[in-house]
Each structure stands twice: as C-alpha cells, then as structure tokens.
Chain A
Amino acid sequence: MKICFLKPRKLKLIPGKVNDDPEFKLSARYMTRNVLLSAGESQCIFKICDGQVSELVLNPSPMEPWDFFIKAPEKSWEIFLQPLPPPFYHSLFGASIREDFQFGGNIEAMFAHYWALQRMLSILRQIQNE
C-alpha cells in the first residue's frame, strides 16, 4: 500500500480536507512554513501559507525550499498512518525517540507549530484509510 501523500490521486484530496478541518484552522493560524515529508526515496513538500495548505510538491527538485523535514522509511509511515497505530507510532514524538522517525531543519519552527503539524498528520491518517 502506498502512502497517501505520495499517491497523486489521494494527494489531490489533501488540501481540501486539511484546510476545512476546524482544529487545523485554529492551530495553524499563524503558520507559514514549507514542510518536507520524506518516505524512503520519495518526498513531498507541504507549502502552508497563513494557515492553509496552498500547494503540495511531489518529489520536488533540490532547488525547492523547505523549513523542516520529517523523515521515515516508507514501511514506517505505513505503520504510523494505520487507523490505530501500535505503541510509539501513535505519536510523532514517540516515533522519533523510540522508532525510526527523524526530523530536522528548523526544528524551532517545527515545535512552534507542533499542534498544527500533529493535526495535519492525523488528517493524513484519515485520508490514508478512506
């Protein structure tokens, strides 16, 4: 099973679902950041502007800017995106300190917008399982 943010058909659904979510709207109000999600060899940049996902760039060129990244093997993303993930994959923080998720770049920005990021990942989990 391919993960939703690498699958063009599912990718199309993401901006609408994320931007319509009341909790994401609230938590991302002051967020203007580019977030790189990396799964194995594949990548997708989520461009978030004024609290809305404005563009998704699948497999971007190295010239495409991003602020921070979340990276894991594709298999680990599949586990993370299960409807009820096993222990430690239920949480970005847990998956990074106890499993094989990594983050980097401007992590100050990541922690500043952690609530919005967490909510966006929860919505990706929903889309993954629809």
Chain B
Amino acid sequence: MAKLEAVIGRYCYLTVDGVEYRVYFEENGRGIPLLCQHTAGSDGRQWRHLLNDPEVTSKYRVIVPDLPYHGKSLPPQSVDWWKAEYKLTKSFFIDFLVELKHCLELKRPAFIGCSMGGNLALDLALERPDEFKAVIGLEGADYTPGLDIIWFNHPRISGEFKFANLYESTAPAGPENNRREIGWVYSQSAPPVFRGDLYYYSREHNLTGQLGRIDTSRIPVYLLCGEYDFASTPEMCRRTASQIKGAKYTLMEGLGHFPVAENYQLFKRYLMPVLNEIANMR
C-alpha cells in the first residue's frame, strides 16, 4: 500500500492590481484557518513538518501558499515579467495575502510567517488588523536593513552561495539533514527572486516609530525569535515587541532563522502554547 501524506496541493486563481496569478498552495487539517508565509527566496516546502503534524491539523486548517514567482506558483501569463527586475513590494505582499484569504473564503484566519513573513505579520497587524484573528511573526522585526546584497543575484555567483549561506543561518546543533534541506530549497529559486524579496525585507518594510499604532485588542501579536538568528536578531525582535503594547515575545533557544524547517520538534515546544492560546480565543 502506498505511503501517502494527508497534505494536498491545489491551484487557485486570484487577481492583485489587475493581474491574475495562478497560485499553488498546500493544505491539511480542519478548524481555524492558519495561513503560513514562507521566507524570502524560498517556498512553501519549508512548512512540510507543520503541515503533517496532527497535533496542529486537528485544530487548524493549515494553508501554505507559494508566492507568485516562487515554488510552483509561476510568474503571471499576462505580464512581460522578464523585462523588469523582480521586486516584492509591501503593497503587493499585503494585498496578495488578503486576496488569497478572500479567494479561499477564509473567515478570520490566523497568520504565521517567518523572516519576511515575520515582518509581514507586523505589517498586517498595522494595516489589516480586522482581516486576521491573530498574527505570529517568526524571525521578524520592525526594520531589518542591509541584507539585499548584490551577491544574492550576480551572474558570476551561483546558487551554491545561497545553499551555503542559508545553511549557516540555522542553529549549529540542529538536525543536519534539515539544515541542508533549507539550503537546497534556496539554491533552487530563480536567480532574482531572493534578492527581489529582500527589497521588501530590507527596504520597504520599515515600521520604525509606527509600532505604537498596532492595537493588540483588535489583533493579538506574537513574536518568536531564534537564539542563533543573525538576520533578525533576538535583540531586534525583543525591541520590536516591547514597542507594541500587549505583544508577546518568546526567545527560542537552540534555533536559528528557520525554526519551522530546521528543527520542527524543538520549534513545536514554543509554537504549541501560542497556537493553543489562539485556538481558545473567541
């Protein structure tokens, strides 16, 4: 008998700024919708452990999209995308997630995102607080400048650099295969995608001085940060949380920039209290 996962993959069509996108997503589970956003230059494969965790999927309908240009979500058909530099903008990122929510007819899903997805959690909390039940930002902060470096998209630097660089963004004592898998997925993205995503991560996302406007009575905010994360450090994450009244911050010992993918069993110890708290909210 075939060994099959319960996870299923499908495509949906949605329109952002007048452009139609064919969007791949995977899902599993029943209950509160949980929209999961992958990191810059990667795709939804990062969430495979969470998608397969019955403790989560017994309470949550876990939904993992690939952003357009990432993974199995191809660039749009109606645009000459090869004539312009790929750049993820803040407005597109927010509109895409909200449109996906509407397209799948999700009623107040919870949102969880890592790295640029962690930054997006903060942007959603500020700009679209009534669309989501709660946001969980992993490895995110108010401002994460300086990482959109030229070497992530250069004709003489191969994907091997991404393979190595993202591998070492994980904590050193984690399972070696998982750490390598993160690098593997990064080395597979189209050349401009990672740096193009970092346009949002390191430039457009900047909530300096604006965090006080996030109202956690409308949208609870959880921020979790891996001890070994040098991109969005625990200090940056803690400082961010301290400026949002009612936000909850957790330091995750023994984890790096990719907690959900690099060491899921360890990450789960920090995640479940948050998911249980959200599940018990009215």
Contacts and interface: CB of A to CB of B under 8 A. Distances in A.
A114 B160 contact: yes
B165 A93 contact: yes
Contacts, number: 57
B151 interface: yes
Contacts of A118: 164, 167-168
Contact of B168 (A87, A92, A108): A92
B41 to A, nearest CB: 15
Given A87-B229, A98-B233, 20 more contacts: A27-B160, A84-B172, A87-B228, A87-B234, A90-B168, A91-B230, A93-B230, A94-B168, A94-B230, A107-B151, A108-B151, A108-B156, A111-B161, A112-B156, A112-B158, A112-B161, A114-B160, A114-B161, A114-B165, A118-B167
B228 A93 contact: no
B174 to A, nearest CB: 11
A115 B228 contact: no
Interface of A: 27, 84-85, 87-88, 90-94, 97-98, 107-108, 111-112, 114-115, 118
Interface in B142-156: 146, 151, 154, 156
A90 B228 contact: yes
A90 B227 CA distance: 11
B183 to A, nearest CB: 9
A27 B163 CA distance: 11
Interface of B: 146, 151, 154, 156-158, 160-161, 163-165, 167-169, 171-173, 227-230, 233-234
Nearest to B168: A91
Contacts of A107: 151
B160 A97 contact: no
25 contacts: A27-B164, A84-B172, A84-B173, A87-B227, A87-B228, A87-B234, A88-B230, A91-B168, A91-B230, A92-B168, A93-B168, A93-B169, A94-B169, A97-B146, A98-B230, A107-B151, A108-B151, A108-B154, A111-B151, A114-B160, A114-B161, A114-B165, A115-B163, A118-B167, A118-B168
Q: Interface on chain A toward B: helix, strand, loop, or mixed SS?
A: helix
